[in-house]
A and B are shown apart, each in its own frame.
Chain A
Amino acid sequence: MILLLVILPLLAGALLFMVRRPAWNPFVLCATALIHLVITFSFWTNEPDPAFNDWLALDALGLLFLSILSFIFMLAAIYAVGYLKEEKRLHETDVQRPHLFYASLLFFLATMSLVTLSQHLGLLWVAVEATTLASAPLIFHHRTHEALEATWKYLVICSVGIALALLGIFFLGTAIKAEQGSLILSDMLQYGVTLDTYWVRAAFIFLIIGYGTKMGLAPMHTWLPDAHSEAPSPASALLSGVLLNCAFLAILRGYQVLSAAGQAMFAQHILLLFGLLSLGLAAAFLLNQTDYKRMLAYSSVEHMGILALGMGLGPGAAFFVLLHSLNHSLAKSMLFLTSGNILLAFKSKKIHSITGLVRALPWSGFLWISGFLAITGTPPFAPFVSEFNLLGVAISGHRFVVAGLYLAALVVAFLGMGKSVLSMSQGDSSMAPAGCKEKSVLVAAPLILFLLLLLLGVHIPEVLSGKIMAAARLLGGVQ
């Protein structure tokens, strides 16, 4: 049954790739996304059986990330159909080979699902590298010089980064001393104490550099602003909202192994270091952004920093880290989808060439401002809950320096993004091209995310907090 989550989108993508009938694209994409969503949420009540000698299985961590993936993919798929239609109409560009975009989206879904399901660390690596390959055509979609540059950097930097993660996995293989040991996660955890300390430590450094490149941790993040700003907006939403999570999941798998080997403290120190570095660097770049999609991309670097920093605070923060990864996915996807509406209407990614957003596009203007408030951790939106509680964990653990730096970075990010968002929203709308209308489908997808963020900010349903708690327990979270 869990195999279906990978095979179905793979086959659907292959179908679109080979048939090449434009009329089929939207239908196959949305139908596959819907079936994927239904199967994923059926797993909330019925735990699926492992497949392939335990190489594929769905544990609580995998389920959480799979659910985020499947849900956001559904919304992005619906949005993408409307977006590509509008883009063709408004910009009169005839994109070559549109089926390639749809097929890549489905391959992307398949490979990311495989990431959440992989229990064998080698397979996990194969899956993460495959996500890079599946998403490269999405970034190259517009075929401009800039898109070419962004795609090249993405391919080379991420492939090299992930190759280093492979070395890390081989180091873990070297660390195994037990006869029955293997690179399957459950075996790694069971024989964790027998692992060789030096190799395990070296492995984690390579894992975090490798997968950290994909996750956008500074200083390996250089590809991220280019790729996320050049990709079409629905693809950016997926890159930022779910792909970064997948890389984070891969790092968490490494963290699980290190915990089992009694090296949790070592892993926490490294995570804390990368977390602070990413937070600080992203905050600095957020202050003077001229491109609003790049601004969102740097905000992603900031939030990945928060996740790494949170794990660095120790297992007590695990619940809020996982909650924050959910909140970030919702908020950032919402912002990237809204940025697509702005780009369609104004045909510019420059912050200074946009004013009067609220008047020109009332719905998108509203979503843009509330999205900004949500992502910067303003109450009553959900990210406030997770960001505030992470601060609480830092303070109660007497890590005042960390707490201070964390808070300072959040404030700088708030000011930097606030300045840009306000200057875009206010003012007269004379710069807006005449007659731009907001299509209901292009508003609906981010609006749903907005409502969810509001809801989760007020109250987290028990069924969801139970799932997150179960996942946190795998990371040693004491609840």
Chain B
Amino acid sequence: MSEITNLLLLLLVLINLYLLSATRLSTSIKFLAAQGVVLAVLPLSLHGLHFSIHTILIPLITLVIKGIMIPNMLFKAIREIEIDRENDPYVGQTASLLCGGLFIIISFWVSERLVLPLGVTSRIWVPVALSSVMMGLFLLITRRKAITQVMGYLVLENGIYAFALALVQKMPYLIEMGVLLDVFIAVFIMGIMLNHIKETFEDFDVEHLTKLRD
């Protein structure tokens, strides 16, 4: 089973790297949806196919929220927008990709020095989660479009979620559902605000949002 787990974890990182180098918003959303699906399947690869809340209900909810509903909301937000591209981000695509590689190296270096939690079957689990968190933060800081910031937040959250899966035994499923619900409502409200930004400024550039300062 651990080979499948490793493969899935690797997929998570590859999607992150793609998001760092992507220019088309609609493709990015599709890859984000794929990441949601990978996260939903991940616990199955870990526990095998037996019936429990952790292996049936949580993956199902993850699939619906992260794989379907959130990407749908993002697609709705970019509809009617003419420019489907992330134009001149603060850090260019190639440089972003290099930074992504650097984050992976740092994550592995840090993880080597940590005492791994009990029951973690894959050695790359923790570094994958940590590097996702870093790449999410990086996307948030270096992109100009409000919608890409939401995607950065989601990549970050997915990284944290991947870490949580590693210690799923200690997390009650009600809390996991609460976390999923919070993220869902957060993206829902951000989606509403995205629509307001779009109506007011006719695009998503956060440069419009720099009026308030000291």
Query: Which residues of A come within 8 Å of B, CB atoms?
Result: 120, 122-123, 125-126, 129-130, 132-133, 136-137, 140, 143, 145-146, 148-153, 155-156, 159-160, 163-164, 166-167, 170, 173-174, 176-177, 181-183, 196, 198-199, 225-226, 229-230, 285, 288-290, 294
Name B196's contact: one of A133, A148, A198 (CB within 8 Å): A148
User: Are A149 and B137 closer than 8 Å at their CB atoms?
Assistant: no
User: Are A160 and B171 closer than 8 Å at their CB atoms?
Assistant: no
- Interface membership of B146, Cβ < 8 A: yes
User: Are A126 and B175 closer than 8 Å at their CB atoms?
Assistant: yes
Most chain B CB within a 10 A radius of its CB, from A120, A148, A163: A163
User: Are B214 and A294 closer than 8 Å at their CB atoms?
Assistant: yes
User: Are A173 and B179 closer than 8 Å at their CB atoms?
Assistant: no
Q: Which of B157-171 contact A (CB under 8 A)?
A: 157, 160, 163-164, 166-167, 170-171
Total of A-B residue pairs, C-beta within 8 Å: 113
Dominant SS at the A interface?
helix
> Can you list 30 A-B contacts with CB-CB less than 8 angstroms, sorted by A residue number?
A120-B175, A122-B178, A125-B179, A126-B182, A129-B186, A132-B186, A133-B185, A133-B189, A137-B189, A149-B208, A149-B209, A151-B193, A152-B193, A152-B209, A155-B190, A156-B140, A156-B153, A156-B190, A159-B186, A159-B190, A160-B153, A163-B153, A163-B156, A170-B164, A170-B171, A174-B117, A177-B118, A183-B170, A225-B214, A229-B212
* Least distance between A124 CB and chain B CB atoms (Å): 10
* Least distance between B190 CB and chain A CB atoms (Å): 6
User: Are A160 and B140 closer than 8 Å at their CB atoms?
Assistant: yes
User: Are A133 and B186 closer than 8 Å at their CB atoms?
Assistant: yes
Q: Hey, what's the 0/1 contact readout for B191-214 against A, CB within 8 Å counting as 1? A: 001001100100000101111101
Please, how many angstroms separate the alpha-carbon atoms of A291 and B157 in the complex?
36
User: Are B178 and A173 closer than 8 Å at their CB atoms?
Assistant: no
Q: Which residues of A contact B197 (CB under 8 A)?
A: 148, 152
Q: Which residues of A contact B146 (CB under 8 A)?
A: 152
Please, how many angstroms separate the alpha-carbon atoms of A344 and B126 in the complex?
54
* Least distance between A163 CB and chain B CB atoms (Å): 5
Name B163's contact: one of A137, A145, A170 (CB within 8 Å): A170
Q: Which residues of B contact A173 (CB under 8 A)?
A: 117, 167, 170-171
Q: Which residues of A contact B149 (CB under 8 A)?
A: 156
Please, how many angstroms separate the alpha-carbon atoms of A143 and B170 in the complex?
43
User: Are A163 and B157 closer than 8 Å at their CB atoms?
Assistant: yes
User: Are B211 and A146 closer than 8 Å at their CB atoms?
Assistant: yes
Q: Which residues of B contact A166 (CB under 8 A)?
A: 160, 179
Task: Given A123-B175, A152-B209, A285-B214, check contact A176 B163 (CB 8 Å).
Answer: no
Q: Which residues of A contact B133 (CB under 8 A)?
A: 164, 167
- Interface membership of B114, Cβ < 8 A: yes
Please, how many angstroms separate the alpha-carbon atoms of A230 and B213 in the complex?
12
- Interface membership of B48, Cβ < 8 A: no
- Interface membership of B115, Cβ < 8 A: yes
Task: Given A129-B186, A155-B186, check contact A160 B179 (CB 8 Å).
Answer: no
Please, how many angstroms separate the alpha-carbon atoms of A181 and B171 in the complex?
11
Q: What is the chain A residue whose CB lies nearest that of B115?
A: A196
List the 6 closest A-B pairs by CB distance, nearest first. Answer: A122-B175, A126-B178, A149-B209, A174-B117, A129-B182, A226-B212
Please, how many angstroms separate the alpha-carbon atoms of A136 and B190 in the complex?
10
Q: Which residues of A contact B179 (CB under 8 A)?
A: 122, 125-126, 166
Q: What is the chain B residue whose CB lies nearest that of A129?
A: B182
